[in-house]
Amino acid sequence: MKLVITLFFFSVVICSCKNKGAHATLLRVAPRDTSITPAISVTKLLLDSVRMESFLKSSVDDSTIANRIRSFYNSRNYQYAWFNEDGLTEPAESFWKLHERRLDLYRDSSIYDKQLHSEMNYLLNADTVYQISDHLALVELMLTLHFFKYAQSAFNGKVSPEEMQWHIPARKIDEHALLDSFLSKEQSQWKPFSVSFYRLRKKLFQYDSIRRNGGWVGIEWKKGVLKQGSRNKAIAQLKKRLATSGDYSVDDSSDVFNSELTKAIKLKQQAYGMDPTGVVGASLIKQLNVGIEDRIQQMMINLERMKWMPSLEPERLFANIPEFKLHVFASDTEALTMKIVVGRAANHTVIFSDQLKYIVFSPYWNVPRSITRNEILPAMKRSKNYLERNNMEITGYSDGIPVIRQKPGRGNALGRVKFIFPNSYNIYFHDTPAKSLFESQSRAFSHGCIRLQKPSELAEFLLRYDPAWTKKRIDDAMSRKSELWVTLREPIPVYIAYFTSWVDETGNLNFRDDIYGHDSRMAQHLFK
């Protein structure tokens, strides 16, 4: 689409900007970059600042966004951003595709502008010559305004992390920098979020296509199990269901359970956090029968959470509560993973981040007051030797309630080591004598702290740069009769997060149950 152009030159009038709104002073306007000349400009299409001020006065009520637009055009010496001499730029078309996809998925009224939609539909489909004019300047400004509104909705998110009990400091978006980055990069390379976000978003688009084509039909299920060699009409339904979601690529609609189906079933079991036995039972069918609309919503909820996540340090500990797993990273590569036990529904493990600073070998367990009052005192009434039998002692009294601690050693509730990242929630990682709990698929059993399946391996990882801490010394420290505190040379970041959907390193789309109801509360904000 070739434009017949009427050029504006760099003799632009600088007008006094009238602040609008109560928060006009919150965002300072960047100075005009007069070093950009026609010889080095991206385009010779230039915006008249008087025209821009007229637009801001009539169309922009938010003074922060108005100042952001002023800064944006000052920084490019009023060059057009969305048009060049040939018409709409590639970034303009790419932005509109992103915009339309979000509008379609979220039905987000905050990014719908009837007039702009009409203009863009014309520009994207017209074959006629389009005259540069005051009208085109209006479309240019409308697109810039719309990008900032889109960024607020799509990149800052629609839900407050704090309102969702998310205490990990949320990443902050600079919309001006975001727009500059969008315009300067190849659009396929423009990815302001983490790799995890784009992996899940790609799957979301795939699922949205499946939904548009009718979704999937549920599997009729009776009691019993299905495994390789079985023959049942439900097997044909199972194959069709997996084929629809792209998890079974064999051209096969028979009612025979074959080896290819076994492979597909094992992958799906892993995707739902189940043991990959290849045997189909009621629990797997229940997950497969969740409707595609519900799965799409679940993915959108978790994409919203992924927007909140700050940039993660290459070395970190990452505990995902619904997954019941701890992931340990070194140089951004997973070095260790293990099962964890988290707080039960009545004792939520808190979502937050901190710095792990201390390892405590052979720890005392200082019993929380609530556990003493609600559990230990009734047990002491039932059995006079309860404290002795459980290696506990009273160290004092507080408002009439005994202060109790459990001594180091066998049976200690914290096991033989704990890992402290000082925080106001009194949450930490620790060993446990109740190893059998790690055999359960759903592991929400604790009072809020996180129990580790492989505590000695985590201690070895954290002390790996100190040659004095050999495996034998760590084993000996875990078998002491008294506490031993060790301060790490360098604290390591800890993130305790809550994701019920993500795509793993192998490309497998994962789903987990919403054990604390956080997804349900998010849905009320996102989809009401």
Q: Do 339 and 388 reside in the same domain of the chain?
A: no
* 193 in a structural domain: no
Q: Do 442 and 357 reside in the same domain of the chain?
A: yes
Number of Cα atoms under 13 Å in the Cβ half of residue 458:
32
Q: Are 337 and 328 in contact (CB under 8 A)?
A: yes
As a whole number of angstroms, the distance between CA 403 and CA 383 comes to: 18
Q: Do 63 and 126 reside in the same domain of the chain?
A: yes
Tell which residue, 53, 59, 65, has the closest CA to residue 24: 65
Alpha-carbon torsion (271, 275, 280, 281), positive or negative: negative
* β pairing state of 83-84 and 392-398: unpaired
pLDDT at res. 189: 66
- Show the domain range for 430: 312-364+408-497
Q: Are 383 and 389 in contact (CB under 8 A)?
A: yes
pLDDT at res. 427: 96
Q: Are 124 and 93 in contact (CB under 8 A)?
A: yes
Could you please report the per-residue DSSP string of 374-411? IIIHHHHHH-TTHHHHTTEEEEEEETTEEEEEEPSSTT
Place of tokens 């629809």: 244
Name the domain boundary from 154, 179, 206: 154
Q: Do 470 and 327 reside in the same domain of the chain?
A: yes
Q: Do 32 and 92 reside in the same domain of the chain?
A: yes
Domain with residue 331: its CATH number is: 2.40.440.10
Q: Name residue 123's amino acid.
A: L
* 162 in a structural domain: no
How many folded domains does the chain comprise? 4
Q: Are 428 and 352 in contact (CB under 8 A)?
A: no
Q: Do 134 and 280 reside in the same domain of the chain?
A: no
Q: Do 132 and 222 reside in the same domain of the chain?
A: no
As a whole number of angstroms, the distance between CA 120 and CA 93 comes to: 9
Q: Are 137 and 48 in contact (CB under 8 A)?
A: yes
* 205 in a structural domain: no
Q: Do 344 and 469 reside in the same domain of the chain?
A: yes
pLDDT at res. 24: 37
Report the largest interatomic distance among the alpha carbons of the chain, rounded to a whole angstrom. Answer: 96
* 299 in a structural domain: no
Tell which residue, 153, 450, 176, 193, has the closest CA to residue 307: 193
* 102 in a structural domain: yes
Tell which residue, 290, 305, 347, has the closest CA to residue 515: 347
Number of CB atoms found within 10 A of residue 19's CB: 12
pLDDT at res. 130: 54
Q: Do 124 and 28 reside in the same domain of the chain?
A: yes
Per-residue pLDDT of the chain (528 residues; tens, 9 = 90+): 444 433 333 333 333 333 333 333 457 888 888 888 777 778 888 999 999 999 999 999 989 899 999 999 999 999 999 998 888 899 999 999 888 888 877 777 777 888 888 888 888 887 655 555 678 899 999 999 999 988 887 887 778 898 899 999 988 888 888 898 889 877 666 778 889 999 999 999 999 999 999 999 999 988 889 999 999 999 999 999 999 999 999 999 999 999 999 999 999 999 999 999 999 999 999 999 999 999 999 999 999 999 999 999 999 999 999 999 999 999 999 999 999 999 999 899 999 999 999 999 999 999 999 999 999 999 999 999 999 999 999 999 999 999 999 999 988 999 999 999 999 999 999 999 999 999 999 999 998 999 999 999 999 999 999 999 999 999 999 999 999 999 999 999 999 999 999 999 999 999 999 999 999 999 998 887
Tell which residue, 486, 454, 483, 488, has the closest CA to residue 363: 483
* β pairing state of 450-452 and 429-430: parallel
pLDDT at res. 14: 30
By three-state DSSP, how is residue 445 classified? strand
Domain with residue 277: its CATH number is: 1.10.101.10
107: left (phi over 0), alpha (psi -120 to 50) or beta: left
Residue 177 burial (C-beta neighbours within 10 Å; 0-12, 13-18, 19+): exposed
* 181 in a structural domain: no
Q: Do 375 and 481 reside in the same domain of the chain?
A: no
Label residues 87-103 b or e (16+ Cβ within 10 Å = b): bbbebbebbbeebeeeb
Q: Do 359 and 488 reside in the same domain of the chain?
A: yes
Q: Do 484 and 350 reside in the same domain of the chain?
A: yes
By three-state DSSP, how is residue 451 classified? strand
As a whole number of angstroms, the distance between CA 213 and CA 206 comes to: 11
Helices 134-154, 90-106: crossing angle, 10 deg rounding: 50
Name the domain boundary from 154, 171, 188: 154
* 518 in a structural domain: no
Kind and range of the H or E run holding 237: helix 233-244
* 526 in a structural domain: no
User: Which contacts of 123-126 are long-range, i.e. CB under 8 A and separated by 24 or more positions?
Assistant: 123/1, 123/87, 123/88, 124/88, 124/93, 124/96, 126/1
pLDDT at res. 107: 74
As a whole number of angstroms, the distance between CA 278 and CA 265 comes to: 5
Q: Are 497 and 319 in contact (CB under 8 A)?
A: yes
